[in-house]
Structure 1
Amino acid sequence: MLQKGRYLARIASSEGDLHAAQRLRQLAFHGDAAALDADEFDALCSHILIEEVDGGRLVCVFRMMPLNDGAEIERSYSAQFYELDALKAFPGPMVEMGRFCMHPETHDPDILRIAWGAMTTYVDENNVELLFGCASFAGTDTTSYLDSFAMLRDRHLAPKRWLPRVKAPNVFRFAARLRRKPNLKAAQLTMPPMLRSYILMGGWVSDHAVVDTKMNTLHVFTGVEVKAIPPARKRLLRAITV
Structure 2
Amino acid sequence: MSIEILNREAQGEMVQSSKATVEPVASDVLGRIGNLETRLARSAREIDAAQAVRYRVFVEEMNAQLPADAMRRQRDIDSWDAVCDHLLVLDRSLEGDPEDQIVGTYRLLRQDVAMANSGFYSSSEFDIDALLARHPDKRFMELGRSCVLPNYRTKRTVELLWQGNWAYALKHGMSAMFGCASFPGVLPEQHALALSFLYHNVVAKDEWAVSALPSLARTMDLMPVEAVNPKKALMALPPLIKGYLRLGAMVGSTAVVDKAFNTTDVLIVLPIASISDRYVNYYGADAGRFAS
TM-score, normalisation: structure 1: 0.91
Q: Do structure 1's residue 87 and structure 2's residue 132 form an aligned pair?
A: yes
Correspondence for 2:224:
179
Q: Do structure 1's residue 196 and structure 2's residue 242 form an aligned pair?
A: yes
Q: Do structure 1's residue 167 and structure 2's residue 206 form an aligned pair?
A: no
Separation in structure 2 between the aligned mates of residue 80 and residue 169 of structure 1, nearest angstrom: 11
Q: Per-residue deviation at 1:199?
A: 1.0
Q: Per-residue deviation at 1:219?
A: 0.9
One-letter amino acid matched to 1:223: V
Separation in structure 1 between the aligned mates of residue 173 and residue 51 of structure 2, nearest angstrom: 28
Which one scores higher on RCO, CA 8 angstroms, separation ≥ 6? 2
Aligned with residue 30 of structure 1, among 59, 80, 103: 59
Distance 1:166 1:142, change over 3 A: closer
2:151 match: secondary structure = coil
Correspondence for 2:81:
42
Separation in structure 2 between the aligned mates of residue 70 and residue 8 of structure 1, nearest angstrom: 27
CA contact (8 A) 2:125 2:216 kept: no
Aligned with residue 164 of structure 2, among 107, 110, 118: 118
One-letter amino acid matched to 2:36: Y
Separation in structure 2 between the aligned mates of residue 166 and residue 219 of structure 1, nearest angstrom: 10
Q: Larger Rg: 1 or 2?
A: 2
Q: Give every structure 1 segment of 4 or more consecutive aligned residues whose post-TM-superposition deviation is greater than 3 Å.
A: 68-74, 168-171
Q: Which runs of 5+ in 1 are unaligned?
A: none
Identity percentage of aligned residues: 22
Q: Do structure 1's residue 5 and structure 2's residue 49 form an aligned pair?
A: no
Distance 1:166 1:49, change over 3 A: closer
1:17 match: secondary structure = helix
Separation in structure 2 between the aligned mates of residue 118 and residue 212 of structure 1, nearest angstrom: 27
TM-score, normalisation: structure 2: 0.76
Q: Per-residue deviation at 1:77?
A: 0.5
* Greater strand fraction, Structure 1 or Structure 2: 1
One-letter amino acid matched to 1:21: A
CA contact (8 A) 1:28 1:101 kept: yes
Task: Write out per-residue CA displacement over residues 119-149 of structure 1, whole angstroms, 9 at most, x where no aligned residue.
Answer: 1110111111101100111222334422211
Q: Which runs of 5+ in 2 are unaligned?
A: 1-28, 62-70
Q: Per-residue deviation at 1:171?
A: 3.6
